[in-house]
Amino acid sequence: MKAFILAAGKGRRLGHITKDTPKPMLMLKGKPILEHNILMCKKAGVKDIFINLHYLPDKITSYVGDGTKLGVNINYNFEPKLLGTAGGILFFLENFNKEPFYVIYGDSYTEFDLRDLKIYHESVKSEFTIAMHWTNDIRQSGLVELDQDGMIINFIEKPKFNSIEGGWVNSGIYLINPGVIDDIVRKNSDFAYDVIPKIIKRGQKAYGYKTENKFWAVDTPEMLHNTINEHQTSKTYR
């Protein structure tokens, strides 16, 4: 199998923390977040990984290299101008034309097993599956609404309202069948605002997979600080 990992963003909300370090290279449990995601792919049998770059690309390529030391093959594409979370996959689309492939946001961490997502994806004959986790505050995430069969009927990115009960939200991990997004993806397109809504509107088989694994995003200094403390790492950012 193959995977596309998004690693181009700067992480502006992290301020000075990402001045000299790309967001995916922030340390957690002794490794960069990006390395955790690569190893998660390897565990699931992914051999070929494609990564988009933009901000401080040398910091990523000098550490990860061609993937040999991590047991995978890695190909990069540098974006002189950011193309969006979905636009960044344009350069690699021809590599994803034979079997389902993973898309993973490279600046988040989870201990999720990608093989579970694949089993579910195949069992419901899905074309586009989103891994989800439960959160009590849905305002910083993409809220996923499902029908009784688990099919996605609505998706709201960073809703301005909050639910007292919480909700199932996007974990930034997708499993996508070849060809499903080819005619949707454009430069500067986004999975949350463009691709997912279009798939739902067209009535394609898009499902949400509920995972009980915890998920950590590091979008703000507070979120990063809480994540690091929870994992009791020695690295701190002040």
- 41: domain CATH number is 3.90.550.10
- Within a domain: 204: yes
The yes-or-no verdict on residue 1 having pLDDT over 60 is yes
pTM given for the model: 0.93
Confidence of residue 131 (pLDDT cuts 50, 70, 90): very high
State percent of the chain over pLDDT 70. 96
- Within a domain: 154: yes
**Tens of pLDDT along 100-113?**
999 999 988 898 99
- Within a domain: 64: yes
- 8 lies in which domain range? 2-231
* 201 touches 155 (CB < 8 A): no
Our count of domains for the chain comes to 1
- Within a domain: 236: no
- Within a domain: 238: no
76 exposure class (CB count in 10 Å sphere: 0-12, 13-18, 19+): middle
Task: Give the C-alpha separation, 152 to 155, whole Å.
Answer: 8
- Within a domain: 117: yes
Which stretch, 6-15, 21-30, 193-202, 217-226, has highest mean pLDDT?
Answer: 193-202
Which stretch, 14-23, 30-39, 134-143, has highest mean pLDDT?
Answer: 30-39
**Tens of pLDDT along 210-227?**
999 888 878 787 878 778
**Mean pLDDT for all residues in the chain:** 92
- Within a domain: 184: yes
**Tens of pLDDT along 80-93?**
999 999 999 999 99
- Within a domain: 237: no
Task: Give the C-alpha separation, 208 to 145, whole Å.
Answer: 8
Q: How confident is the model at residue 24, as a pLDDT?
A: 95
Q: How confident is the model at residue 225, as a pLDDT?
A: 79
